[in-house]
């Protein structure tokens, strides 16, 4: 019977790190500094404090009883790996939600029905850390409202992604995670998909702008009345409306103008220059 132990503490940006291990030290699944560096690099690409604060990052040895415990809890999104598929025997995202990511680290020669005699290697740990950028993409999708039908902006984000996404994965949820990895992942993986294929912002600027702005759009437009979301090589933009009350009549829908946000989360308005009369996007 394997005894499972764990340690938990805060790392950068309010992320909680749980490490489940079966040996003498939690560092067998990577030191706190090893995982903290990855979080710092992800934060640099998406610097929203409220987004990261409170995220529970759980790293565990695949020979620990943790997987059985999670199965017993009936968790959805569980066991997101395929032992037959090349590359999935060393690291895999096992569970994700709006406040938690679980990542299992596989020892060499892992078998689901037996304990491996092999210790985790540096290669296993590095593979697991690279996998985290993909799993963080699932977290990004959920935090951005991707796939949700509860708000108009969520539907629009989902529609735009469907129109712009590359044929990288069989389903759109996995593709979102792969695109996030390529555009907003850690320093060691950014610019490539998990299979090593190069994918950079220059190859799809419209999708790059959409992915960078997605969380901002969800947070700022969730309660707004907007027209169809559109994406260019420089902005995500929309027409904004308000309801104007009228005496003894139904409220009137009034346009507030066209607004946009760029990949660095700067807001712009389509405005006319009072001197030249020219129309252009102006930062507001």
Q: Is residue 136 part of a domain?
A: no
pLDDT at 189: 95
Same domain, 39 and 156: no
Share of the chain above pLDDT 90, in %: 63
- Whether 68 is in a domain gets the answer yes
pLDDT higher than threshold 50 for residue 89? no
Give tens-digit pLDDT for 177-200.
999 999 999 999 999 998 899 999
Q: Show Cβ contacts of residue 239 under 8 Å, excluding neighbours closer than 6 positions.
A: 226, 227, 228, 255, 257, 258, 259
Task: Calculate mean pLDDT across residues 248-260.
Answer: 92
Task: Render pLDDT for 197-241 as a digit per residue (tens, 0 to 9).
Answer: 999 999 999 999 999 999 999 999 999 999 999 999 999 999 999
- Answer yes or no: do 18 and 109 share one domain: yes
Exposure of 128 by Cβ count < 10 A (0-12 exposed, 13-18 middle, 19+ buried)?
Answer: buried
Farthest-apart Cα atoms in the chain, separation: 79
Full domain range(s) for residue 162: 152-283
The phi, psi pair for 32, rounded to 5°, reads -60, -40
Q: Parallel, antiparallel, or unpaired: how do β-strands 267-272 and 100-105 relate?
A: unpaired
DSSP result, 61-98: ETTSTHHHHHHHTT-TT-----TTSTTTTSEEEEEEET
Structure tokens at 246: 């009228």
- Is residue 129 in a domain? no
Q: How confident is the model at residue 95 (pLDDT cuts 50, 70, 90)?
A: low
DSSP SS3 for 238: strand
One domain for residues 74 and 164: no
Residue after which a domain boundary falls, among 74, 104, 121: 121
Task: Name the residue among 43, 44, 45 with its Cα closest to residue 53.
Answer: 43
Give 117-146 pLDDT, tens digit per residue: 778 899 989 988 998 999 899 999 999 999
Cα-flanking dihedrals φ and ψ of residue 213, to 5°?
-90, -10
Give the whole-angstrom CA distance, residue 218 versus residue 145.
Answer: 7
How many structural domains comprise the chain? 2
Report pLDDT for 114: 67
**What's the average model confidence in pLDDT over 93-118?**
74
pLDDT digits (tens, 9 = 90+) for 23-53: 899 999 999 999 999 999 999 999 999 999 9
Residue 130 within any structural domain of the chain: no
Q: What is the mean pLDDT of the chain?
A: 88
Residue 116 sits in the same domain as residue 163: no
DSSP H or E segment with residue 172: helix 172-184
Same domain, 275 and 163: yes
In a domain, 133, yes or no: no
**Residues 156, 83 share a domain:** no
Domain boundary at 80, 98, 121, which? 121
89 and 24, same domain (yes or no): yes
């Amino acid at each position: 019977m394997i005894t499972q132990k764990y340690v938990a503490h805060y790392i950068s940006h309010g992320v909680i790190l749980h490490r489940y291990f079966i040996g003498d030290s939690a560092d067998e699944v990577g030191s706190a500094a090893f995982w903290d560096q990855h979080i710092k690099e992800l934060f640099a690409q998406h610097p929203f404090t409220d987004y990261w604060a409170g995220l529970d990052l759980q790293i565990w040895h695949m020979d620990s009883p943790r997987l059985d415990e999670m199965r017993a809890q009936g968790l959805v999104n569980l066991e997101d790996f395929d032992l037959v598929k090349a590359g999935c025997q060393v690291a895999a995202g096992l569970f994700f939600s709006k406040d938690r990511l679980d990542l299992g680290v596989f020892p060499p020669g892992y078998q689901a029905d037996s304990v491996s005699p092999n210790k985790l290697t540096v290669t296993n740990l590095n593979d697991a850390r690279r996998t985290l950028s993909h799993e963080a993409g699932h977290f990004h999708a959920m935090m951005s409202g991707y796939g949700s039908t509860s708000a108009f902006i969520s539907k629009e984000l989902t529609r735009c992604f469907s129109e712009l996404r590359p044929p990288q994965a069989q389903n759109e949820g996995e593709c979102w995670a792969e695109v996030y990895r390529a555009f907003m992942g850690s320093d060691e993986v950014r610019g490539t998909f998990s299979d090593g294929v190069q994918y950079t912002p220059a190859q799809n600027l419209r999708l790059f702008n959409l992915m960078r702005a997605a969380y901002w759009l969800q947070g700022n437009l969730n309660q707004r009345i907007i027209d169809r979301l559109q994406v260019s090589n420089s902005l995500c933009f929309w027409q904004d409306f308000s309801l104007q009350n009228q005496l003894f009549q139904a409220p009137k829908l009034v346009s507030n103008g066209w607004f946009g946000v760029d990949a660095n989360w700067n807001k712009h308005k389509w405005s006319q220059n009072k001197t030249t009369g020219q129309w252009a996007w102006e930062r507001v």
